Amino acid sequence: GAGTLMGEPLAILGLTGSIVSKLEDEGVRTVGDLLKKTKDDVAGLKGVGARAVDGLVEALKKHELTLSEDTEE
């Protein structure tokens, strides 16, 4: 389940090195850190395009995980 992945490095999700390094630059180093971010947070990172965000969402889905929902709407 999700609990076991929280402390794992982002690489476990099978993401490309480029998005992993951009997330790590923002202090997002583990799956748990990533799940605290919203799609908008990730899309707002410098050099991260919509395709990279979609790939990230898909990778999380394979592990039955999702990014944080933005509740400010």
- 16 CB-side CA count, 13 A: 13
**Is a pLDDT exceeding 80 seen at residue 2?**
no
φ, ψ of residue 9 in degrees (nearest 5): -65, 155
Q: How far apart are CA 34 and CA 72, in angstroms?
A: 19
- Nearest CA-CA partner of 53 in 71, 39, 69: 39
Here the contacts of 46-50 (C-beta below 8 Å, separation 24 or greater) are: 46/22, 47/18, 47/22, 48/19, 48/22
Query: What is the tens place of the pLDDT at every residue in 32-72?
Result: 999 999 999 999 999 899 999 999 999 999 999 999 997 66
**Is a pLDDT exceeding 80 seen at residue 8?**
yes
